Structure 1
């Protein structure tokens, strides 16, 4: 961790920060692209966090505190701490006449404005004896006028009643900043009451099983800020919040150990990325709170602790919460079913299988009910595309035009030319869950996931045989009012070499191969396709489709996926 921070500092000292331009700020509103402005915005915060950590670790190195002051100064001069994609233009976009009437500047509070307030408040607290007194006062003024005063004078904001990561991050950050800076006890109590109310909303976004349907990285993010705030609250007041005693919060804390496939491969349904690294300091903190938390193997942990957004709060805690005395181990063999969220996972040695039920109105939703992931030899074969590049259209009514969010980008069938639709009414009904040492069976009714009135019933059955070389039997049973016009079984696979035979396709990996067995009457159509992933890079995948033949009112089709 220390080596990473020092390398970042060396780079930053050699290459000066790019000054933000008006054109980059307006780029999103004109073109919908977030990357240009955000790369400059997050670069400043990476520098702030880097020099803040090194000032903490090396208090006698003057260059680090000087660079920290420069980054604080730059951030205090920003037009807004909010990202352009999150701006309420009636605030920052106020006219001169609006300003003359109100005689005040208005600000939006989003994730990053709130995080910036938390960051500067904590840095102020830690370095108040070392920072220039002028800058100390500037920090307090900017946090108050941009966040705390705005929060007190307005609201409720839409994220105060949200049931996803925004609630925890925004409220937790404001609560943390207030604990550091608000000296008026009655004002502080008022802020904390609102923060705790929002935290209740955040917890409502989880089912009792503790699964984060937004994905693992959003669990790290939202649940992280939930606990950062509660930890500071405990330190400031000497009281432990009753939220921590809830069984649901304990289940949420266990999510990490129940969602990894193997090593750094994670179940990446929704807007999640396929590879992730546990935060070791955060994991150690969870273990000290709940001793049944699995400690991940150290070699799989996150050592590049300053993330792509340059967040101070998690980076600082990765250092301060890290416990070198705690050992770590590989993820244990396990079968997990999140009953209410309908996420299934089974880990066996170097193999893993995961499948998804639920509904199509989840946070960061993809139309993916009945979709699944298959891993063998620490390689992904059947895959989830995960998060696409965030763009203006990615979060509006064009969301499902993107392959990674649409039903077309998942391993689920196309029925009479129709795909799954978005909406809470499109949902799976669990039919059977039977798990044992040797095999797991999970069966779902999926007829309600399609806008097809002639579809009477559609059952998808996963039968996972946990032999030395595991096999997955996938059975789809359809029942219609009248003979269907078409059914296409569709699968999404990692882009890899393959060989086609009469009744199977052999997908080749470095250590394992996957034999995809099908009825010899079927003719597969195999296409290489591409999408823009979360990092803005073109990523290839294979789409394998089987148009069914001899269509009747009742149809059963079986595929066998066998490692060899």
Structure 2
């Protein structure tokens, strides 16, 4: 898509030189900075003022080693990111206010960050050749946050170079030196970085566009040598092509909507950088797959901050509002732009949400703010969607409205990026409020990505809305998948059927397990989940689990009531003669889980009353 078309002898002619590349006004170019809306100016100046006299918190060796000693990665990560958020806020505040009030703190921030041994985080130290509790200064690996740091410093240099030089020429020279040694030189010389995609032993994920976007930024803003600059752009194109090639044509993000911000969105960042650096001559926004990658996010949109979550995605996501708006404008999709505008209006002056302070998100957000605020476009509430590559179905009762029932379900396989064992998983919302849910993810630790991953409860099928046979759940691995997947849609219903048998180990003794998940639209719409199963032998217990944030109320045999604090209510009806119901309360201690659901979840169990080797179970979910 990119390399074949552009990475050739004409690439150098397409790219603007460093001197001519002016993506945004610097602090000296006052017109656009002074035209920003007053409340936006006040918001960011206040953010900068809060960081005046910032202490720049120590990043100690023992804090770094805590990851290898206890598995905790938050202490070091949080301290590192706090430095970078402070610097980003100070830079934007200075560019807006333009009085020099923030400059000493900016210099301190730049100097402290440049003196760090490693710009990455402990959890990514596995990339280094010598495995040690501390990072190896002689092994300059490029990972997510070292690349992000280079980008932040490059933007600081670009926006404030004249002011920094007035204080000391050493500040910008230090940025140039550190970024060259840590990012620019390794990027050009190393092909062993797995996320580049040149060694296909490891599956690519959001790292590829995320790292490339920040490396590209550093080269475009700081590299004077035209040949090195061109070589970096060419390499980025080849790497991005590997990533784009492995994505399904439906544009679906198998890592879930949170990771769309780091996958699809950082791919958009890369394409925007290439577009801007070539004055629009490197342009693939018309390609169908690029459009579908953007559209995925409104296909996964439920209501307010809720999105269809699976894998390691939380249910509540704050997408980058201005990026969704710009992405929609680039591909000519008014729904995507409208979703961005809707998100911006919810957050008002806070123009971007990102765990790491990405100035390539903040800057366009500032300069497009007034335009986005006035935009309406088309409603992002679509009635139906089917993404055949990642096998995700969504359906709501009404087009352009969150009212009524909402259903989402997935197939796929259990070796997807950030996988949870969840083939056949479904979620149900009522009037935009969660009723039957996917719990999401816990705070990352040393267990999250290696051999102990599936010892974590949130990754196990027992805590998803899927069957268990004599307590046996699904297994992880590409061989554990949905088969015989069929999606159907007409005016009366949206339906997904799939065979779950291959998602379970042989010990579950499943010959066939056909699950049909459908939203029936009528004068009294309802959702039906129907399981028809055939086992190789009689098994003692067939169990269906359902996760919910609401305390279930048993309303007689065959009926369960779920109700939220706003009065939204659904009834779950089942065959009370064949299945017994019980529930358990799950106390939540993890901060990420508590932010999503509060202090507890509930797991409903429907268990077969008698041993069996075949049968069916149907549940009907209706709004009350």
Partner of residue 56, structure 1: 95
Partner of residue 163, structure 2: 130
| TM-score w.r.t. length of structure 1 | 0.93
Partner of residue 327, structure 1: 376
Partner of residue 561, structure 1: 621
Residue 515, structure 1, aligned to residue 571, structure 2: yes
Partner of residue 359, structure 2: 312
SS at match of 2:428: strand
SS at match of 2:268: helix
Cα drift, residue 465 of structure 1: 1.6
SS at match of 1:130: helix
Of the three residues 551, 567, 588, the one matched with 1:496 is 551
With over 3 angstroms needed to count, the CA separation of the structure-2 counterparts of 1:532 and 1:318, relative to structure 1, is farther
Partner of residue 462, structure 1: 517
Of the three residues 180, 197, 221, the one matched with 1:144 is 180
Cα drift, residue 418 of structure 1: 1.2
Q: Is the CA contact (8 Å cut-off) linking 1:495 and 1:528 kept in structure 2?
A: no
Q: Structure 1 residue runs of 4+, over 4 Å off?
A: 1-4, 88-96, 531-534, 536-539
Alpha-carbon displacement from aligned partner over 1:328-363 (angstroms, at most 9, x marks no partner) = 565324100101210011123323111111111100
How many Å separate the matches in 2 of 1:317 and 1:106? 35
Partner of residue 5, structure 2: none
SS at match of 1:131: helix
Query: Which structure 2 residue ranges, 5 or more long, are not aligned?
Result: 1-39, 198-202
**Superposed, which structure 2 residues align to 1:100-499 within 5 Å?**
105-132=138-165, 133-161=169-197, 162-241=203-282, 243-294=284-335, 295-296=338-339, 297=342, 298-300=344-346, 303-304=349-350, 305-322=352-369, 323-324=371-372, 325-327=374-376, 330-348=379-397, 349=401, 350=403, 351-452=405-506, 454-467=509-522, 470-496=525-551, 498-499=553-554
SS at match of 2:459: coil
Q: Is the CA contact (8 Å cut-off) linking 2:492 and 2:520 kept in structure 1?
A: yes
With over 3 angstroms needed to count, the CA separation of the structure-2 counterparts of 1:520 and 1:332, relative to structure 1, is same
537-546 or 356-365: which moved more? 537-546
Cα drift, residue 529 of structure 1: 0.9
Q: Is the CA contact (8 Å cut-off) linking 2:500 and 2:514 kept in structure 1?
A: yes
With over 3 angstroms needed to count, the CA separation of the structure-2 counterparts of 1:328 and 1:36, relative to structure 1, is farther
Alpha-carbon displacement from aligned partner over 1:152-207 (angstroms, at most 9, x marks no partner) = 23233111115211000112211221112222222222222221111112213321
With over 3 angstroms needed to count, the CA separation of the structure-2 counterparts of 1:383 and 1:533, relative to structure 1, is farther
Alpha-carbon displacement from aligned partner over 1:225-260 (angstroms, at most 9, x marks no partner) = 222232222222235335433211111011111111
SS at match of 2:101: helix
Q: Is the CA contact (8 Å cut-off) linking 1:259 and 1:266 kept in structure 2?
A: yes
How many Å separate the matches in 2 of 1:151 and 1:209? 31
How many Å separate the matches in 2 of 1:27 and 1:54? 34
With over 3 angstroms needed to count, the CA separation of the structure-2 counterparts of 1:488 and 1:95, relative to structure 1, is closer
How many Å separate the matches in 2 of 1:532 and 1:422? 26
How many Å separate the matches in 1 of 2:608 and 2:132? 58
Cα drift, residue 471 of structure 1: 1.2
How many Å separate the matches in 2 of 1:77 and 1:306? 27
How many Å separate the matches in 2 of 1:548 and 1:153? 61
207-216 or 121-130: which moved more? 121-130
Residue 70, structure 1, aligned to residue 119, structure 2: no
| TM-score w.r.t. length of structure 2 | 0.84
How many Å separate the matches in 1 of 2:48 and 2:183? 29
Residue 9, structure 1, aligned to residue 64, structure 2: no
Cα drift, residue 441 of structure 1: 1.8
How many Å separate the matches in 1 of 2:361 and 2:93? 15
435-444 or 465-474: which moved more? 465-474
Alpha-carbon displacement from aligned partner over 1:232-290 (angstroms, at most 9, x marks no partner) = 22222235335433211111011111111122210011111111223221122112211
Q: May I ask how many residue pairs the two structures share in their alignment?
A: 558
With over 3 angstroms needed to count, the CA separation of the structure-2 counterparts of 1:80 and 1:469, relative to structure 1, is farther
